[in-house]
Amino acid sequence: TGVFGGTFNPIHLGHLRAAEEVRQALSLDRVLFVPSRIPPHKHTDPDDPIADSARRLRWVERAIAGHPDFSVDRVQIEREGPSFLVDTLATIRGRDGTGTAPPPVFIVGQDAFAEMGDWRAPERIFALADLAVMTRPPGHLRHLADRLPAIVRDDYDIAADGRAALHRSAGTRIDLVPITPLDISSSRVREECRAGRSIRYLVPESVREEIEESRCYAARPAARAHG
Ligand code: ATP
């Protein structure tokens, strides 16, 4: 099982194609999309808002509708308080009553991978799950050692070609998965919305329609430049 976490603010074609390529490359049976819950009180930039959880969840549902191996997991959205990946992975592992299922595969872009040392309980995350590290522009990661967080570096034996690493004690692995570079980000989508430009072909059509109707990323009147 692949576990694809993200804010998905909003989900875009970069996310979707990435998940599809990783699913095929690693022969995953299914991919769970896990939108993170952003607490309503969390201070965010009023000029660059995070859409509420229900919306982000609905967009993910719409975007993956019809893919037999993709589904949405509400574990983070429904949990009170901030969502930590370590808890999510423990919950997902706990669903396997027998304890014999292979570890879940956390799917992450090379940018987020490099920052995982700052996440809650990184050592536990790396021991709980396999990782699929996807290339993402700008740049094209060629060797896992270039982005593997320092805090877990000594836990791994890295293959000479840099494409795979094995956790010495936990047995979990990391695979580098080169994918088609699609330089699309949620920030870019929001930026286009604020500027009143088209987001067609950056996000699925059904999602585009909902975003445009809701105007949830439109520039606030007060923030609009005058003259
Ligand atoms: P933002 O621009 O708001 O920071 P984002 O586009 O990075 O958002 P997230 O929901 O934060 O989207 O990303 C979730 C995961 O998907 C991360 O691991 C990220 O690296 C990965 N990801 C997002 N877009 C791409 C892409 N175009 N190619 C490969 N991986 C991607």
Structure pTM?
Answer: 0.95
Atom from ligand 1 closest to the CA of residue 113: 18
Question: What does the chain look like in DSSP terms, one character per residue?
Answer: -EEEEE--TT--HHHHHHHHHHHHHTT-S-EEEEEPP--TTS---TTSPPPPHHHHHHHHHHHHTT-TTEEE--TTTTSSS---HHHHHHHHHHT-TTS-SPPPEEEEEHHHHHTGGGSSSHHHHHHH-EEEEE--SSS----GGGTS-HHHHTTEEEPTTSSEEEETTT--EEEEE--------HHHHHHHHHTT---BTTB-HHHHHHHHHHTTTSPPGGGSPP-
Distance of CA 108 from the midpoint of ligand 1 (Å): 8
pLDDT at 204: 98
Q: If you search the block for the tokens 């040392």, which residue do you land on?
A: 117
pLDDT at 62: 98
Nearest CA to ligand 1 atom 13: 6
In this predicted structure, the answer to whether residue 80 has a pLDDT above a threshold of 90 is no
| Exposed e or buried b per residue across 127-139, where buried means at least 16 C-beta atoms within 10 angstroms of its C-beta | bbbbbbbbbbeee
Distance of CA 100 from the midpoint of ligand 1 (Å): 31
Cα maximum dimension of the chain: 66
Mean pLDDT of the chain: 94
Q: Which residues line ligand 1 (CB under 6 A)?
A: 6-9, 14-15, 18, 108-109, 111-112, 134, 136, 182, 184-187
How many angstroms separate the CA atoms of 81 and 176, rounded? Answer: 32
Cα angle, residue 108 at apex, residues 180 and 69 outer, rounded to 5°: 75
Q: If you search the block for the tokens 């950056």, which residue do you land on?
A: 202
> pLDDT confidence of 40, banded at 50, 70, 90?
low
Q: What is the pLDDT of residues 149-208, one digit of tens each?
A: 999 999 999 999 999 999 999 999 999 999 999 999 999 999 999 999 999 999 999 999
Distance of CA 2 from the midpoint of ligand 1 (Å): 16
Residue to probe by mutation, ligand 1, list 136, 179, 182, 216, most atoms within 8 Å of CB: 136
Which residues are registered as beta bridge partners of 34? 5
Residue to probe by mutation, ligand 1, list 133, 176, 185, most atoms within 8 Å of CB: 185
Distance of CA 83 from the midpoint of ligand 1 (Å): 17
Question: How far from chain centre, in Å, is Cα 145?
Answer: 21
Distance of CA 99 from the midpoint of ligand 1 (Å): 31
- Residue from 120, 37, 128 nearest 90 by CA: 128
Contact 49, 37 (CB under 8 A): no
Residue 58: phi, psi to the nearest 5? -65, -40
Nearest CA to ligand 1 atom 14: 6
Atom from ligand 1 closest to the CA of residue 109: 20
Percent over 70 (pLDDT), the chain: 95
In this predicted structure, the answer to whether residue 226 has a pLDDT above a threshold of 80 is no
How distant, in Å, are the alpha carbons of 23, 163, 166, 182 from that of 18? 8, 17, 23, 9
* Other CB atoms within 10 A of residue 79 CB: 15
